[in-house]
Amino acid sequence: GGGPHAVVYNARGRARRLPLAVRHGHRYTAHRYLPTHQQVLADDLVDVVRAVRGVLREPRAYCVIGITMCDLHMDTTDEFSMGVASLNEGVGVFSFSRYLPTFAANHISAGHRRDAHPDSGTRLARAPIAERRRVVLLRAAKTIAHEVLHMFGVSHCSWYACLMQGSGHLAEDFGIPPHMCPLCLHKLHFSVGHSFDPIRRYENLARWYFHHRGEDEFAWLLRRVQSVSGRCGDCVRAAMVERGRRGCKRHAAGGDNNDDGGGGGGGGGGRR
């Protein structure tokens, strides 16, 4: 109620409800109707995000991103679009509808499902809803990180298996790792400046993946922090999972630890 509005979440997950001055007519509601579902014009939703940024009054906000579960398209020649961003303005909108394992069954004709969507006919498409939600969240987080890194000036990577690889279709997108390679991590470090702390970044990412059951990603980050910081694996896991603890039981009780002076810089991971 109360007219068009947007629910805005900041980096800490706090929500604000903002009114939108939406013009009447087709603007912000341009649809393309396909036999199985409708699509929304991505550029129109970018205009909505611009409007949200205009009323946010958040001087520290680096960018504003819109997320939708509507399928998007860019023009009449485009089958679909995962999203679009204006890097100079720090705004973008992204659709995660095609990340759903059930998308092919619901929106693609039977004769084209296997070729059109990599989840078609797999165990994931028949998995419990909690597992499907977990997978969609991990895929969506990877895409958002990739696009926001573009706004920090990090271009596509052609050197390693890296978060910043480009992709031409969903199967390729799903296969891209969620971590940055050493070169792209150094580019991010250069863009952020001296406040950039690679170990703290790894630890925060590990906590997020642990909370959202990204077991493979958590294990990779744990090994990375252990390698860069020189701490024992149990200390690293305790610091990540049980916040407030200084280390494992042996080292927290005063035993020898290898973290004195070992928390310097470090690059990202290599090939996965």
Which DSSP string corresponds to 173-187? HHHS-SS--HHHHHH
Closest CA to 6 of 129, 74, 83, 91: 91
Q: Which long-range contacts (CB under 8 A, 24 or more apart) does 112-117 make?
A: 117/170
Which DSSP string corresponds to 60-87? T---EEEEESSEEESSTT-S-BSEEEET
Active site residue 172: no
The three-point CA angle 129-134-138 to 5° equals: 150
| Helices then strands, each counted (H, E), the chain | 10, 8
Determine phi and psi for 104, rounding to 5 degrees: -60, -45
Q: Which of 79, 131, 147, 203 is catalytic?
A: 147
Edge to edge, the sheet with strand 31-33 lists 31-33, 38-41, 71-73
Catalytically annotated residues: 147
